[in-house]
């Protein structure tokens, strides 16, 4: 005990210094903190198995727990700092970490869109079968009718546009939550939902291209 006490006291001093400001510690001090932490964990195991000194065991246990928290746990951040870190760094890393899942989702969406697009261009009945009946932009609509819908929102007042934006937001949120909820069923319903949304997009493009609307559709 007497031989190891200086190392424990040094570790305790480094812990107190790190708690005040870890950024002000030198690389040598941080390295020393790690070395002493590992050495003290060995001492703790030896004390726990070879002696019955509970006070010493508790002291070393608290010491190693404090050092472990400083070395391995992420530094504390404010709420706004955490949000900023996620927006500018964490979100991109999450996308990169799960790129295969996003690639599969994109393939399902684009595949469904291409399938419905070519089917609708080849046979108008396919477009009627897939397109929602309550939508005013039905297959077979004239160019003027489709352009009226496309341009109709430009002259609307802010309140109407706000309601439409709220509808789009709630619709997209509903689709996202539905896809998330159905993921528990081996993700099969989620995949079908992705394909269906892609098919709706494909029919939408086909309806406008059949009427000769290209540039204004994507504007």
Tell me the pTM: 0.57
| One domain for residues 70 and 118 | no
In a domain, 20, yes or no: yes
| One domain for residues 72 and 144 | no
Average pLDDT, consecutive stretches of 10 residues, N- to C-terminus, the chain (219 residues): 87 92 88 94 90 89 93 75 83 90 94 96 91 85 85 61 75 82 83 92 92 81
pLDDT confidence of residue 164: 66
| One domain for residues 64 and 143 | no
| One domain for residues 104 and 209 | yes
From 45, 76, 107, the end of a domain falls on 76
Number of domains in the chain: 2
In a domain, 62, yes or no: yes
| One domain for residues 67 and 135 | no
| One domain for residues 127 and 160 | yes
Q: Could you give the CA distance from residue 11 to residue 174 in angstroms, rounded to a whole number? A: 53
Q: Which domain holds residue 115?
A: 99-218
Looking up tokens 């870890």 gives 22
Q: How far apart are the first and last CA of the chain?
A: 77
């Amino acid at each position: 005990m007497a031989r190891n006490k200086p190392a424990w006291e040094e570790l305790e001093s480094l812990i107190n210094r790190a708690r005040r400001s870890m950024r002000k510690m030198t690389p040598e001090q941080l390295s020393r903190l790690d070395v002493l932490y590992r050495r003290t964990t060995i001492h703790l195991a030896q004390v726990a198995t070879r002696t019955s000194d509970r006070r010493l065991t508790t002291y070393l246990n608290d010491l190693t727990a404090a050092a472990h928290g400083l070395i391995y746990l992420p530094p504390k951040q404010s709420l706004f700092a955490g949000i900023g870190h996620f927006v500018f760094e964490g979100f991109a890393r999450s996308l990169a970490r799960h790129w295969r899942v996003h690639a599969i989702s994109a393939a399902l969406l684009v595949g469904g869109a291409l399938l419905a697009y070519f089917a609708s261009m080849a046979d108008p009945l396919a477009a009627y079968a897939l397109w929602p009946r309550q939508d005013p932009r039905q297959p077979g609509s004239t160019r003027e009718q489709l352009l009226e819908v496309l341009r109709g929102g430009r002259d609307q007042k802010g309140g109407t546009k706000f309601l439409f934006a709220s509808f789009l937001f709630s619709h997209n949120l509903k689709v996202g939550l539905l896809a998330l909820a159905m993921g528990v069923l081996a993700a099969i319903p989620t995949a079908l939902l992705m394909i269906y949304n892609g098919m709706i997009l494909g029919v939408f493009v086909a309806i406008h291209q059949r009427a000769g609307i290209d540039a204004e559709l994507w504007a």
